Amino acid sequence: MKKAKIYIPNKSAMQSGLGKINKWILEFETEDPSINPLMGWESSSDTLSELKLEFSTKEQAINYAKKKKIIFEIIEPKKRKIIKKSYADNFLK
């Protein structure tokens, strides 16, 4: 059976805002990875590992996986803890 994980990707280091991080991704896991003897890179003959499907909600991704009989794992996003500080806090300690 195909195995997949459903998650919200982290923002990249080049991204300062929180825009475009609300998409849920269904990504297939690589089956039988092997090491290329010439270059030392990891390779696989499984082309599903190159496929990433985007969904606007978690429920849509789950429904798609159930409909296609895909074994899936859901990785819940961690909530950011935002500490509000003012510029004056730099000089109070």
Q: Give the global pTM.
A: 0.72
Query: Does residue 78 lie in a domain region?
Result: yes
- pLDDT at position 67 is 95
Does residue 1 register a pLDDT over 70?
no
Q: What is the CATH number of the domain that holds 78?
A: 3.30.160
61: number of Cβ within 10 Å: 22
Does residue 7 register a pLDDT over 90?
yes
Distance CA 49, CA 36 (A): 17
Query: Does residue 81 lie in a domain region?
Result: yes
Question: Which tops the pLDDT comparison, 18 or 34?
Answer: 34
Query: Does residue 71 lie in a domain region?
Result: yes
Band of the pLDDT at 16, cuts 50, 70, 90?
confident
| Mean pLDDT over the full length of the chain | 86
Query: Does residue 16 lie in a domain region?
Result: no
Distance CA 28, CA 52 (A): 7
Residue span of the structural domain in which 65 resides: 3-10+22-33+42-91
Tokens at 29, concatenated: 């896991």
Helix (H) / strand (E) element for 63: namely: helix 58-67
Does residue 21 register a pLDDT over 70?
yes
Query: Does residue 59 lie in a domain region?
Result: yes
Q: Give the number of domains in the chain.
A: 1
pLDDT digits (tens, 9 = 90+) for 30-64: 777 788 888 888 777 778 878 899 999 999 999 99
Query: Does residue 72 lie in a domain region?
Result: yes
Query: Does residue 15 lie in a domain region?
Result: no
